[in-house]
Amino acid sequence: MADAPTIAGKGASFDVTAFFRRYAALTALIVLLAFDFAVTPNFASWQTLNVNLTQVATIVIVSVGMTLVIATGGIDLSVGSLMAIAGALAPLIFLSPFGRAHPGLGDALAFIIPVAAAGLLGMFNGWFITRFQVQPIVGTLVMFIAGRGIGQVLTNGNLQVFKNPTFQFIGLGRILGVPFQVIIMLALVAAAAWTFRRTLFGRQILAVGGNERAARLAGVPVNQVKRWVYAISGLCAGIAGLVVVSINSSSDANLVGLGMELDAIAAVAVGGTPFTGGQASVVGSLIGALLIQLVRYTLLANGVPDAAALVVKGLIIAGAVWSQQRGKFT
Amino acid sequence: MTAPLLGMRDIDKRFQGVKALSSASLEVAAGEIMALVGQNGAGKSTLIKVLTGAYRRDGGSIAFGGEPIDFASPHEAQRGGISTIYQEINLVPFRSVAENIFLGREHRRYGLLDWRRMNHQAAELLRRFAVELDVRRPLMGFSTAIQQMVAIARAVSFKARLVIMDEPTSSLDEREVAVLFDVMRQLRAEGVAVIFITHRLDELYQVCDRVTVMRDGRTVMTSLMAEVDKLHLIAAMLGRDLETVRAHATGFSATSAKAGEEVLSAEGLRIGRKVRDARVEVRTGQIVGLAGLLGSGRTEVARAVFGADPPDAGTIRLTGKEVTPREPADAIALGVGYCSEDRKADGIVPDMSVRENLTLGILPRLTQMGVVDEARQRAIVDRFMARLAIKAASVEQKIRELSGGNQQKVLLARWLCTDPKLLILDEPTRGIDVGAKAEIQSLIRELADQGLGVLMISSELEEIVEGADRVFVLSDGRTVADLPHTAASAPAIMAAMAHEDPAATGTANG
Amino acid sequence: MSAGTATPAAPSRQSSLAWAGQQRVLIALVLLILFGALRYDHFLGAYNVLSVLRYNSMFALTSLGMCFVIMTAGIDLSVGTTAACASVVSAVLSPVGLFPGLLGGLATGVAVGAINGFMVTRMKIQPFIATLSGMLMASGSGLLLAHNQSVSVSYETNFTWLGQGDLLGFPTPAWIAGLAYVYGSILLNFSSFGRYVLAIGGNEEAARLMGLPVDRVKFWTYVQSGVFASLAGVILAAQFGAGQPAEGVGWELFSIAAVVVGGTLLTGGVGSVATTLIGVLLLGLIFNVLNFENGLGWISLSAYWQSVVRGVFLMVVVMAGSGAARRAIRAA
């Protein structure tokens, strides 16, 4: 809950153990960084930073939307499938005869249409959940199952290989040496953190998650708020899908975003946003994702097999959530 | 008197250094109904939780049936013969009545559950309390009173020697309360002791033998019920002298206000099966009471007017405009506010700060281009914290940490800051201690005098009789009386409530 | 439970909510079978029926374990990777014999289930996160043990009989799944454990106050889920001749879908074992019907449509269910 103190922390006396429990993920991240600087070979390099940030960017982008959804007390299992749809659509557009005839317009549409489509499907999730009063986990399970199928049907399951520097700037480009997707990631995190802190929408999200019935009776447009968070989650997934296919120079609807829903949820959970809703920390989700990524990197860089890193990842997720809960109860 | 069944002596309990109980004591004899009363925070429920093993005591001794006891959990207490019926009924709504009675010690036959026997015994058990129903149906299909009976039947079937009832009547109507009291008397006749906790003092005199009063974690009085009158009881609870109590039976001073223009008029409301033909009218500067037994459709009418559950038929005029609000937001836009009956479920957003809770309704108006103007927000919060004398460590404190009375004030402020023309208050003083209650009541009067229209729902007749300038009485979903202040005496209102059609009697049994 | 509705004593019969759902999915299954039988030759042929049963028995098993967990208002995301890990363990042990392979697999499930149960009941981690963690641990362990490759099972012993064999003309896996469902049905309706599962899912606080062993029951539902998942893993290894550490991806969500289609509420407290089986068969048959449709050759539906159709089907079931739930609540 990195951005919590300005909201709730005033007047509370400073307690060291409470601080470390509360910021378990951040503390772990700092300890791990210290370890890496001391032990891991070639850690203190620009390249290492870029590799890690690049790998974590898509997860963070998806986690931003996921944080909003979880703050309303919901969950979005469909993000991976929406990534696959966006990833499938983009090459279809700029490789189409129209896209080839008008490269500028084609590339622009290859950004806009897939992201908009993912946003609309996200909006559909929200509509389905609110209209039929379905549990979010079931409501988005529909899109999880059907969405990847849609992506596969669009491409007939084929791998689309391409080379389109303009379009691929989103995944391969750099501004002042910083990978473009990292800039997108930071911009989205900042925007979402600002939304929670300063805007009506942010407070309405927290009110809906904190007590939905009370929020409705206080005039909060509950259903509308929910539809928007799922739509935003869809938009984030769409952007992440484009980043992934750009990096790969290819789009495979069978694989793009596979398992992303769980990675993003894990990042949000490690970051300290509770599943019950009503509280949120976007910066926490960023830290959570960074922590998970850095643990994996550290293990691989020190010769531990990837499979073992999976086990450690599992332990980290359980450990982080456990320590936050202890922090809350004491 | 012989040795008591239960003897709790010199019980101490601290929470993080704060004393919740200090040498509290409680004695109950077999076959006795003991009332346990006190303001919120007096230590009643802490004492009960110490008894049933939900909390560990820091000092003192407990003897039950002559033996010293030290239960580690409510379950152990239950096996030891002490059963508790909680305020929120703690049964499993999806499961059948019989299952709820037998969960935890099912009958088996050949290693498998013996449904026939359990159903048979459950029906038998309930029959003892004059309740006839299909025990195989899920509990959720029955009224609160029946669910309460099932909980009691469960306790009795555990061969309980002491049954603790924590505010069992708070959601029952008067008929159901009468049935519950019969059950309590039946328990007494069978030699079972009962500890009865309630906020409704009138009820004590109907069933209790003795009363124990708690204040600030101490036991301040134990007396035979017949030897203490209500005023003395209140005085003991409050720790105030008798004169101040007598002056303010409620916080209302019955100034008959001059009624202004109409802010609400609803006619011919029909909502689901509960409301058939309701009418209500409120003018500015007026407190209008909406009286009726539980289940008479009071809350449903309020929610319909507010747009929370739109009516199936009928006309609603708000501030002169004929509209049917579809969402609370519609009604709020017209200048209506609604404080619901259940603060916890429908009012507060527990993890948000006092500041955010207070401004939840007005927030859209403090927003430009989606961004909240925090300076204006803070100014409003400061103004209403002072005006309503809300006690909180800071405006950033989480609202769930506040006392019930202060939470209610924040919720009132949530609406007052929107400058409403009509405020609907559903049980505004339920579950609030006596001191804060009077404060809130006089605040409501003050607001009405300043021109606010108030529609007040209350189960407490005194509140309606003393507070309302006009009273509408609902019975079985119909408005059956419309009484001006002068005619709204307690007997008149009760007479109107009693007007009911025979079909209503059946619904109490499910 | 739907099969058990004939016994008047079964309390679920009175639960109109679950009952309406049971009827609905049963009718849907019958209609789908009728549709297939009328439209395609060989749809009801022995070969097709037996292979559908053989293949879907694995999902039936993971869904059965999931069903109990969901009835306690929990969830188990680890069933897929538990199956994968168990398939590796049993493949490794298969040269020793059928039983060592089987028991080794089951032990894997017990271990993962116990870890999940420990995290949920002792560490008080939400089931979603706890089993997500368990899922990663099982997956990692399987991959480590198998060195990221599939592990061939031994054909020297009769281990493969568990996946490829027959008993009285029916595939062994179908027998295993069938027996598991009979066991599950009895456990739910005629044992205290089953009633506690439903009571905990319906109102955990009340169950605790009633003195039910809440944590113990929850713990065992996770262990049981692990066991059924690992049984599926053993069948996987035996059926395809190899322990497959990377298999099982998405099984958890498929199982959840099957349980939901079967009318069990994710909020817990209401559920049925028999309709979970119907849910599994419905989702499985959709795939089967699409294959036949392609076989007709009139239209060429790519295999990828099956996900879309399954998703839409789940949506329709949920929509219908939500209406039924609303009506039931209003009537109550």
pLDDT of residue B488: 82
* pLDDT tens-place string over residues C30-66: 998 998 888 888 888 888 888 888 889 999 999 999 9
Over residues C268-292, mean pLDDT: 87
CB atoms within 10 A of CB A15: 11
Which of A1, A196, A217 to probe by mutation at the B interface, max B CB count within 10 Å?
Answer: A217
Run of H or E including C229? helix C214-240
Given a cut of 90, is residue B74 above it in pLDDT? no
Contact B252, B467 (CB under 8 A): yes
Lowest average pLDDT, out of A56-65, B71-80, B333-342, goes to B71-80
| Contacts of B among chains (3+ CB pairs under 8 A) | A, C
Question: Could you write out the DSSP letters of every residue in A292-318?
Answer: HHHHHHHHHHTT--HHHHHHHHHHHHH
* pLDDT tens-place string over residues C213-252: 999 999 999 999 999 999 999 999 999 989 899 888 889 9
The whole-angstrom separation of Cα C110 and Cα B441 is 61
Nearest beta carbon to residue C136 from set A265, A313, A322: A313
Q: Could you tell me the CA-to-CA distances from A164 to B42, B186, B375 in Å, in that order?
A: 74, 85, 50
Given a cut of 60, is residue C14 above it in pLDDT? no
**What's the full length of chain B, in residues?**
510
Given a cut of 60, is residue B244 above it in pLDDT? no
Query: Residue C158 carries which DSSP code?
Result: S
Residue contact B112–C269, C-beta within 8 A:
no
B347 touches chain A (CB under 8 A): yes
Run of H or E including C33? helix C16-39
Name the maximum alpha-carbon separation found in chain C: 62
| Predicted TM-score (pTM) above 0.90 | no
* pLDDT tens-place string over residues A145-191: 999 999 998 988 888 999 988 889 988 888 888 899 999 999 999 99
pLDDT of residue C325: 54
Residue contact A199–B370, C-beta within 8 A:
yes
Phi first, then psi: give them for residue B223, nearest 5 degrees: -155, 155
Question: Could you write out the DSSP letters of every residue in B349-372?
Answer: -TTSBHHHHHTTTTGGGGEETTEE
The letter for the amino acid at B457 is: I
The whole-angstrom separation of Cα C248 and Cα C238 is 15
CB atoms within 10 A of CB C330: 9
Backbone CA torsion sign across A93, A96, A97, A100: positive
pLDDT of residue C315: 87
* pLDDT tens-place string over residues B415-452: 999 999 999 999 888 777 777 888 888 889 889 988 89
Residue contact A266–C314, C-beta within 8 A:
no
**Bridge partners, residue A187, by sequence:** none
* pLDDT tens-place string over residues A222-237: 999 999 999 999 999 9
* Residue B226 half-sphere exposure toward CB, CA atoms < 13 A: 1
| Contacts of C among chains (3+ CB pairs under 8 A) | A, B
Residues 6+ apart with CB under 8 A from B164: B48, B51, B52, B82, B83, B84, B85, B194, B195, B197
* pLDDT tens-place string over residues A195-253: 999 999 999 999 999 999 999 999 999 999 999 999 999 999 999 999 999 999 999 98
- Look up residue B380 and give its two tokens: 């409003």
Quote the ipTM score. 0.84
Lowest average pLDDT, out of A133-142, B276-285, C16-25, goes to C16-25
pLDDT of residue C135: 94
Phi first, then psi: give them for residue B136, nearest 5 degrees: -90, -10
CB atoms within 10 A of CB B70: 10
The whole-angstrom separation of Cα C256 and Cα B461 is 52
- How close is the nearest chain C Cα to the Cα of B90, in Å? 4
What confidence category does residue B507 fall into, taking pLDDT thresholds of 50, 70 and 90?
A: very low
Residues 157-176 of A with CB under 8 A from C: 157
Residues 6+ apart with CB under 8 A from A124: A143
Residues of B in contact with A8 (CB under 8 A): 353, 396, 398
Query: Residue B347 carries which DSSP code?
Result: I
Question: Could you write out the DSSP letters of every residue in B297-341?
Answer: SHHHHHHHHHTSS--SEEEEEETTEE---SSHHHHHHTTEEEE-S
pLDDT of residue C110: 97
What confidence category does residue B501 fall into, taking pLDDT thresholds of 50, 70 and 90?
A: very low
* pLDDT tens-place string over residues B156-213: 888 889 999 887 776 677 777 888 888 889 889 989 999 998 877 778 888 999 999 9
pLDDT of residue A20: 64
Backbone CA torsion sign across C95, C97, C98, C99: negative
Residues of B in contact with A9 (CB under 8 A): 396
Which of C78, C124, C137 to probe by mutation at the A interface, max A CB count within 10 Å?
Answer: C137
Residues 402-421 of B with CB under 8 A from A: 414
Lowest average pLDDT, out of A42-46, B354-358, B489-493, goes to B489-493
Residues 6+ apart with CB under 8 A from C182: none
Angle among Cα B440, B444, B445 to the nearest 5 degrees reads: 120
Contact B26, B47 (CB under 8 A): yes
Residues of B in contact with A199 (CB under 8 A): 367, 370-372
- Look up residue B429 and give its two tokens: 């003083």
C195 touches chain B (CB under 8 A): yes
B308 touches chain A (CB under 8 A): yes
Contact A187, A195 (CB under 8 A): no
The whole-angstrom separation of Cα C271 and Cα C293 is 33
B184 touches chain C (CB under 8 A): no
Over residues B108-134, mean pLDDT: 86
Number of H-type helices and E-type strands within chain B: 18, 24
Name the maximum alpha-carbon separation found in chain B: 76
A267 touches chain C (CB under 8 A): no
Given a cut of 80, is residue A1 above it in pLDDT? no
Residue keyed to tokens 């309020």: B302
Nearest beta carbon to residue A307 from set C133, C148, C305: C148
Angle among Cα C33, C38, C39 to the nearest 5 degrees reads: 100
Residue contact A200–B346, C-beta within 8 A:
no
Contact C4, C274 (CB under 8 A): yes
Contact B101, B160 (CB under 8 A): no
Q: At B464, is the secondary structure helix, strand, or coil?
A: helix
Contact B67, B82 (CB under 8 A): no
A303 touches chain C (CB under 8 A): no
Residues of A in contact with B333 (CB under 8 A): 219
A145 touches chain C (CB under 8 A): yes
Residues 6+ apart with CB under 8 A from B318: B263, B264, B305, B325, B331, B334, B335, B336, B422
The whole-angstrom separation of Cα B84 and Cα B158 is 11
Residues of A in contact with B374 (CB under 8 A): 198
CB atoms within 10 A of CB B305: 26
* More confidently predicted of B241 and C72: C72
Nearest beta carbon to residue C132 from set A141, A144, A265: A265
The whole-angstrom separation of Cα B38 and Cα B236 is 8
- Look up residue A46 and give its two tokens: 């620009």
Residue contact A217–B306, C-beta within 8 A:
yes
- Look up residue B165 and give its two tokens: 């009832």
pLDDT of residue A172: 87
Query: Residue B169 carries which DSSP code?
Result: T
Query: Residue B259 carries which DSSP code?
Result: P
Residue keyed to tokens 């009273």: B471
Query: Residue A73 carries which DSSP code?
Result: T
Backbone CA torsion sign across B128, B131, B137, B140: negative
Residues 6+ apart with CB under 8 A from A27: A20
The whole-angstrom separation of Cα B130 and Cα B127 is 5
Phi first, then psi: give them for residue B8, nearest 5 degrees: -110, 125
Residue contact B394–A278, C-beta within 8 A:
no
C188 touches chain A (CB under 8 A): no
* Mean pLDDT of chain A, nearest integer: 88
pLDDT of residue C7: 31
